[in-house]
Structure 1
Amino acid sequence: MPAVGTPEPGGLSWYQILDLFQEICRRTTIVGMDVVELCPMEGQTRADFLAAKLAYKMIGYRLFKN
């Protein structure tokens, strides 16, 4: 994702992150979360929506954990 403060080549994929979030929510109680390192770029909203979708996913996993 280009709109971050410190890009990391070969970082985690979308599905790896979702699996990680699900496992964290399954094993523990989440009491807070921050979305950090997002550096919005004018005219490019893809990264903004991706970060928002990740935050929504984490909230969903937390609220509806089994």
Structure 2
Amino acid sequence: MSTDIVDSHPVRSDCQFFCPELRELFGCLRGSNELRREITSVKSHMLQRGQRNLWKGTNHARLER
């Protein structure tokens, strides 16, 4: 199977975000556009949650000092 499409795909770098199991499951974003949109929304949701948790953590640490 040719990897030309995957190599030139603009979303390919997002693969680094997912754990190996997810990368394998999603075929490194070779799926349909619908699946790609779903992955992107999940990713942004997780990043937003992560940033909030990070902010809460630093705020909490500041209060304890």
Bin for the TM-score computed over the shorter chain = 0.3 to 0.5
User: Normalising by the residue count of structure 2, what TM-score does the alignment of the two structures yield?
Assistant: 0.39
User: Which protein is bigger by CA-based radius of gyration?
Assistant: 2
Choose between structure 1 and 2 for higher RCO, CA contacts under 8 A separated by at least 6 residues: 1
